[in-house]
């Protein structure tokens, strides 16, 4: 069933209060949506978020992916929110809110501080009309959302705790994505989160924190982040790699008969297994 905005925010707050986190899984197509839903159904009591857009809209088309994610969540026995990830575009945010998205991330992290505040405030205003909750970002994350680039953390762009407190108070945002050494995609060297910075942010910021770039972060680091206020983690590259490994392995047997269905199924199962591993790691 679709986890409504208010219920999703309650789940996020409860996770924050108990040192747990909701996973936000990025979906690009039918098989990734179905794999995420299968993982959620295998873990009753663990709400998840399907992050459908904004970058995946370029692959799947905006309206088809919106419908796919919302319909799959609504038809499931699991509690699944549908979330817009990394949107810089208020029109896109409005389209998703009107369609029924239960949360959105407005990403003004590339903007000067005052402009990030202004963009985020407007997204919060629009989301309130639809009962959706809002995540914003302060500090910049290296790497790419769709491709692993072996990026390294950039010390200059880490989230400043005092600025984070000011930002949250000025915007009324429900959750804050932070840059604490995390990177989008896999990295050449294992990520080492700046846990002291995370603790400092937690002590100044009252809302749940969000850790983007969770793929490849060692489990001990993830657990340490959960103990310091992170209540949502975003996972994309791990699902992409699982999908690609599975379809590569399935191809030789499928090619002689042009059996595309077996390849797609293998990809879907691999996404479900990878998402399940993440849910288990957060439990």
Min dist CB 42 to ligand 13P, Å, is: 20
E strand or H helix at 232: strand 230-235
By CB neighbour count within 10 A (0-12 exposed, 13-18 middle, 19+ buried), where does 255 fall?
A: exposed
- By beta-carbon proximity to ligand 13P, the closer residue of 104 and 235 is 235
Cα dist from 189 to 186, 245, 277, whole Å = 9, 21, 21
Provide φ and ψ at 145, rounded to 5°.
-75, -25
- By beta-carbon proximity to ligand 13P, the closer residue of 111 and 151 is 151
Greatest C-alpha distance within the chain: 61
The yes-or-no answer on residue 85 being catalytic is: yes
Min dist CB 99 to ligand 13P, Å, is: 20
Residue 155 · residue 183 · CB < 8 Å: no
Q: Which of the following is catalytic: 63, 71, 85, 144?
A: 85
**Contact residues for ligand 13P, defined by CB under 6 A:** 26, 85-86, 145, 184-185, 212-215, 234-238
Residue 171 · residue 165 · CB < 8 Å: no
CA dist., res. 33 & res. 276, Å (int): 13
- By beta-carbon proximity to ligand 13P, the closer residue of 146 and 259 is 146
Rounded to 10°, the helix 30-41/62-75 angle is: 20
- By beta-carbon proximity to ligand 13P, the closer residue of 2 and 275 is 275
DSSP letter at 19 equals T
Min dist CB 233 to ligand 13P, Å, is: 8
Min dist CB 140 to ligand 13P, Å, is: 13
Residues annotated as part of the active site: 85
């Amino acid at each position: 069933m679709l986890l409504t905005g208010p219920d999703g925010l309650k789940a996020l707050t409860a996770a924050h209060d108990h040192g747990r986190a909701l996973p936000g899984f990025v979906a690009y197509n039918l098989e990734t949506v179905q794999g995420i839903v299968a993982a959620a159904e295998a873990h009753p009591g663990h709400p998840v978020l399907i992050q459908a857009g904004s970058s995946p809209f370029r692959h799947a088309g905006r309206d088809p992916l919106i419908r796919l994610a919302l319909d799959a969540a609504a038809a499931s026995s699991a509690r699944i929110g549908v979330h817009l990830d990394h949107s810089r575009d208020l029109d896109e945010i409005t389209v998703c809110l009107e369609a029924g998205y239960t949360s959105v991330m407005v990403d003004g992290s590339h903007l000067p501080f005052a402009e990030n505040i202004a963009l985020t405030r407007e997204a919060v205003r629009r989301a309130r009309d639809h009962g959706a909750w809002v995540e914003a970002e302060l500090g910049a994350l290296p790497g790419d959302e769709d491709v692993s680039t072996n990026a390294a953390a950039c010390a200059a762009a880490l989230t400043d705790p005092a600025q984070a407190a000011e930002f949250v108070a000025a915007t009324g945002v429900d959750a804050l994505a932070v840059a604490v050494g995390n990177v989008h995609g896999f990295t050449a060297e294992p990520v080492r989160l700046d846990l002291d910075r995370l603790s400092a942010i937690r002590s100044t910021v009252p809302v749940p924190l969000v850790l983007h770039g969770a793929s490849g972060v060692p489990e001990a680091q993830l657990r340490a982040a959960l103990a310091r206020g992170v209540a949502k983690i975003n996972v994309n590259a791990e699902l992409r790699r699982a999908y690609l490994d599975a379809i590569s392995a399935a191809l030789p047997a499928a090619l002689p008969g042009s059996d595309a269905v077996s390849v797609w199924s293998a990809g879907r199962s691999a996404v479900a297994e990878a998402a399940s591993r993440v849910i288990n790691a957060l439990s």
